[in-house]
């Protein structure tokens, strides 16, 4: 075969393949040799050295032959005249789809603006969510490019390294690709923080020899002897921590490099899970464990499938040593992540559903994001956040982002559980819904068919699923309110126009283009079909129309005549209370309650702009906001809302917030006919058991 390939690359790739797979790879090699002919990398090597190295790394990950062939071909669509159909015809649709997916990722230009970053993240996630093999090829393509980054100009080195650290490293971590993640991190570290990299590298170089000597002479022999006496067959090795993690530890803990004592860790690999715990017992019987330095990732695996026991002990000479204990299967998974469980030959899915569950959630979060800021927030939660491990009452384990609340838990269980969440118990005790869950908590959700999502929840939930579901539910509740308001408007118009409800409904449905009665009521309630439009349809006499509009005017004030006037939204003055008008440029006269803080400011600084005005008549309902401070008890919200309803006031919005003190704040937006009605509501609510204060909210 005529070749421009370096012999070492070619032989390394074919060495471990079976005969059938070798033939597929040879055909791919011939294809890329033809297509990339005359192309060279910045290093001076033939361009084909790069895809062959990517394919070899995929082989080391035990990827299937389809992915390896796609790795060889991953650049031909972008850099040669080859087409998708060419690849599909020669190597099959699966290979062609993977190559196309990698090509699309390669065209993403991650600019610095939040809008561009968000859109590019969206493209990236959606591309590899269709087939995870796309991201395996892309990650190894990026890894080999990072290894040869020194041949590019400095500005490109910095841009590519920063992009790698911000985007590809978190994805490698989330997929459990530890080896790829750590190599990428150290390479990014070298280019982005050269001085710090050299400092850490020199420190490790000086310390490693002495630490290796310590482990070989004092720690490992004693550990091996104790494990052997327990009758356990184990492989004991040590590993250096990668440079980036050592540097991050100094920043996270605020310590000097000289204070980092665990740059080498001991790893014990055994045959079974039971032996892992037996070895743990041996380790703790021989050496003194350090309090707070034990993690059981076997019982509580990380979301990226990682499993191992971690413990730190005091070894001979008083030195701290970290020991990791795992089975061979766990070790393979720790190194290769989800790639260790690949099973495309078994129907096109990895054996573990955890990653796919996470991936579905990630896709759902970006599809539910309404703007770039929200998308970036959701992605950071999915890719960067730490986790808490909590349990259902049946003992099932759930993994949620750090800071998650019972409401996040409820929506994780099921949308309807979240929508009807009325309270929560953690470890048998009732907690506020904004309580931050801790690892090990047992969470029980209390539901009520009458409970609905609260806009206040959005302020404390952290999962994108909970946020999206709450917003969706609130939107539906708003729709229901508009429909009900539209029903009231329809009845009022029917009475004023002296038309039957059915006649009016038929005409308006046809005229508005509404599909059904509910849609028409929504249009009426939201104001998209106005009363003026309805009047014009029935050609109402001008004098009759003017009379009706005067009756619907919320107020008339002495001395105003035709002066433009509006009720100030900051205080929403009520008929019957003392009011003042403030002259406002472009807005005419703004009418304020005498107790309004904004009015007091104007009176003090610009008294010439204030006029005294009086109510003469007002019709309809008027908004007012009130805040209650109550002792939190079961049923108090229901009693308060019932009291308000009995007094004839209409609740348009309600929000509650529990306080750590055992009290709660209740905010209501009400509609009342007059100031006297408001005073009656306030006076009656103050008599409800548990209500400590009722205040009108202004400003």
Confirm if 312 and 337 have CB atoms less than 8 A apart: no
Distance in angstroms (rounded) separating the CA atoms of residues 469 and 361: 13
**Residue 344 confidence (pLDDT):** 38
Query: Domains of the chain, with CATH numbers?
Result: 7-192 (1.10.3210.10), 196-340 (3.30.460.10), 622-696 (3.30.70.260)
Contact in structure between 75 and 50 (CB atoms under 8 Å):
yes
Q: What are phi and psi of 269, to 5 degrees?
A: -115, 125
E-strand ranges in 384-475 read 387-391, 397-401, 421-426, 429-431, 443-447
- Alpha carbon separation from 697 to 622, 637, 667 (Å, rounded): 14, 19, 9
pTM (2 d.p.): 0.54
Closest Cα partner for 412 from 365, 371, 452?
A: 365
Q: Please count the residues of the chain.
A: 699
CA distances from 429 to 237, 392, 441, 443, 631 (A): 46, 14, 11, 9, 18
3-state helix, strand, coil in the chain (%, to 5): 55, 15, 30
Residues 121 and 378: their CA atoms lie apart, in Å, by 11
Burial class (CB in 10 A: 0-12, 13-18, 19+), 326: buried
Q: What does each C-alpha distance from 243 to 148, 197, 203, 585 come to in angstroms?
A: 19, 7, 10, 64
Stretches in the chain below the pLDDT threshold 70 = 1-12, 16, 106-129, 261-262, 303-304, 337-386, 539-565, 584-588, 608, 617, 699
| DSSP letter string, 295-330 | EETTTS--TT----EEEEEE-GGG-EEEEEEEEHHH
Share of the chain above pLDDT 70, in %: 81
CB atoms within 10 A of CB 181: 24
- Please write the tens of the pLDDT for every residue from 624-637: 999 999 987 777 88
Nearest-angstrom CA–CA distance, 156 and 527: 55
- In this prediction, residue 588 carries a pLDDT of 59
List of residues 6+ apart from 188 with CB closer than 8 A? 146, 161, 162, 164, 165, 169, 244
pLDDT at 561 (0 to 100): 43
- For residue 586, give the DSSP letter: T
50, containing H or E segment: helix 49-60
β-strands 429-431, 320-327 pairing: unpaired
In the prediction, which pLDDT does 349 show? 42
Give pLDDT, residue 434.
Answer: 92
The four Cα atoms 599, 604, 606, 607 give a dihedral, to 10 degrees, of 80
What's the mean per-residue pLDDT of the chain? Answer: 81
Catalytic residue among 33, 60, 64, 79: 79
Is the separation of the CB atoms in 382 and 404 below 8 Å?
no
Give the per-residue pLDDT at 555.
46
CB 628 within 8 A of CB 694: yes
> Is residue 290 a contact partner of residue 314, using CB atoms and an 8 Å limit?
yes
Dist CA 673 CA 677 (whole Å): 6
Neighbours of 596 (CB within 10 A): 22
Strand boundaries in 442-520, DSSP class E = 443-447
Please give the DSSP secondary-structure letter assigned to residue 436: P
d(CA 693, CA 629) in angstroms, rounded, equals: 5
Which stretches within 583-674 are classed as H helix? 597-605, 636-646
Residues with Cβ < 8 Å from 504, sequence gap 6 or more? Answer: 490, 493, 494, 497
Q: Is 79 a catalytic residue?
A: yes
CA 628/CA 696 separation, integer angstroms: 9
621 conformational bin, left if phi > 0, alpha if psi -120 to 50, beta if neither: beta
78 in active site: yes
Phi, psi of 300 (to 5 degrees): -125, 80
What confidence score (pLDDT) does residue 396 get? 74
Q: What is the DSSP string of 8-41?
A: HHHHHHHTT--HHHHHHHHHHHHHHHHHTTT-B-
Asked if 477 and 522 touch (Cβ cutoff 8 Å), the reply is: no
Alpha-carbon span 504 to 51, nearest angstrom: 71
Contacts of 133 (CB under 8 A, 6+ apart): 63, 66, 67, 70, 98, 344
* Residue 631 φ/ψ, nearest 5 degrees: -85, 120
- Taking the CB of residue 34, how many other CB atoms lie within 10 A of it? 12
User: Which of 23, 30, 78, 259 is labelled catalytic?
Assistant: 78
Distances (CA, A) of 603 to 239, 583, 586, 587: 74, 12, 20, 18
- Cα–Cα distance measured from residue 402 to residue 437, given in angstroms and rounded to the nearest whole number: 8
Q: Reduce the DSSP state of residue 355 to 3 states and report it.
A: helix
Q: How many helices (H) and strands (E) in the chain?
A: 29, 20
To the nearest 10 degrees (0 to 180), the angle between helices 328-336 and 178-192 is 40
Half-sphere exposure of 337 (CA within 13 A, CB side): 23
HSE-CB of 550 using CA atoms within 13 angstroms? 11
What does the pLDDT read at residue 248? 86
Pick from 320, 399, 418: which is nearest to 361 by CA?
Answer: 399
């Amino acid at each position: 075969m005529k070749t421009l390939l370096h012999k070492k690359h070619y032989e390394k790739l074919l060495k471990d393949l079976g005969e059938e797979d070798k033939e597929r790879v040879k055909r791919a090699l011939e294809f890329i040799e033809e297509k990339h002919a005359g192309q060279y990398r910045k290093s001076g090597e033939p361009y084909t050295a790069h895809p062959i190295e990517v394919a070899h790394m995929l082989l080391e990950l035990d990827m299937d032959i389809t992915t390896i062939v796609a790795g060889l071909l991953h650049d031909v669509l972008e850099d040669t005249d080859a087409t998708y159909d060419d690849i599909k015809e020669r190597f099959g649709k699966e290979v062609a789809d993977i190559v196309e997916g990698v090509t699309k990722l390669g065209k993403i230009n991650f600019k610095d603006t939040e809008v561009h970053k968000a859109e590019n993240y969206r493209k990236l996630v959606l591309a590899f969510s269709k087939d995870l093999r796309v991201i395996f090829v892309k990650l190894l393509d990026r890894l080999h490019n990072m290894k040869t980054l020194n041949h590019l100009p400095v500005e490109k080195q910095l841009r590519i390294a920063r992009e790698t650290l911000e985007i590809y490293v978190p994805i490698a971590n989330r997929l459990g690709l530890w080896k790829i993640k750590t190599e990428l991190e150290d390479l990014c570290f070298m280019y982005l923080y050269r001085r710090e990299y050299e400092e850490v590298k020199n420190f490790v170089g000086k310390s490693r020899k002495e630490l290796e000597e310590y482990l070989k002479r004092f720690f490992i022999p004693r550990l091996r002897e104790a494990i052997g006496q327990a009758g356990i067959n184990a492989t004991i090795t040590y590993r250096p921590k990668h440079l980036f993690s050592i540097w991050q530890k100094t920043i996270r803990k605020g310590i000097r490099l000289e204070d980092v004592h665990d740059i080498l860790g001991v790893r014990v690999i055994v045959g079974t899970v039971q032996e892992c715990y037996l070895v743990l017992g041996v380790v703790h019987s021989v050496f003194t464990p350090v309090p707070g330095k034990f993690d059981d990732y076997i019982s509580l695996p990380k979301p990226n499938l990682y499993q191992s026991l971690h413990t730190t002990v005091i070894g001979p000479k008083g030195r701290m040593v970290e020991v990791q204990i795992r089975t061979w299967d766990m070790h393979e998974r720790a190194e290769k992540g989800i790639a260790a469980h690949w099973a495309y030959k078994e129907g096109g899915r990895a054996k573990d559903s955890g990653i796919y569950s996470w991936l579905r959630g990630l896709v759902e979060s970006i599809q539910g994001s309404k703007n770039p800021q929200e998308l970036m927030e959701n992605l950071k939660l999915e890719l960067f956040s730490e986790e808490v491990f909590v349990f259902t009452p049946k003992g099932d384990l759930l993994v949620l982002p750090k800071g998650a609340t019972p409401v996040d838990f409820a929506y994780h269980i099921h949308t309807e559980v979240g929508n009807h969440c009325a309270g929560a118990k953690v470890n048998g005790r009732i907690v506020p819904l904004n309580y931050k869950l801790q690892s090990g908590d047992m969470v029980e959700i209390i539901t009520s068919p009458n409970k609905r999502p609260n806009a206040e929840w959005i302020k404390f939930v952290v999962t994108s699923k909970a946020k999206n579901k709450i917003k969706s539910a609130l939107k539906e509740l708003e729709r229901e309110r508009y429909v009900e308001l539209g029903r009231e408007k329809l009845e009022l118009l029917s009475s004023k126009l002296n038309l039957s409800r059915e006649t009016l409904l038929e005409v308006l449905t046809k005229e508005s283009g509404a599909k059904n009665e509910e849609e028409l009521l929504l249009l009426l309630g939201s104001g998209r079909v106005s009363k003026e439009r309805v009047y014009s349809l029935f050609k109402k006499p001008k004098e009759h129309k003017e009379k009706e509009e005067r009756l619907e005017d919320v107020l008339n004030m002495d001395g105003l005549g035709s002066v433009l006037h509006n009720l100030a939204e900051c205080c929403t003055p009520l008929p019957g209370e003392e009011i003042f008008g403030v002259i406002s440029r472009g807005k005419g006269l703004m009418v304020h309650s005498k107790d309004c803080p904004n009015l007091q400011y104007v009176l003090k600084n610009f008294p010439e702009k204030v006029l005294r005005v009086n109510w003469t008549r007002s019709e309809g309902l008027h908004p007012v906001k009130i805040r209650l401070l109550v002792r939190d008890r079961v049923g108090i919200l229901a009693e308060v809302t019932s009291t308000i309803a009995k007094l004839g006031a209409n609740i348009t919005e309600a929000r509650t917030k529990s306080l750590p003190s055992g009290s709660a704040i209740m905010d209501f937006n009400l509609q009342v006919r007059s100031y006297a009605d408001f005073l009656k509501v306030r006076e009656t609510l103050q008599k409800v058991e548990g209500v400590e204060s009722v205040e009108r909210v202004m400003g």
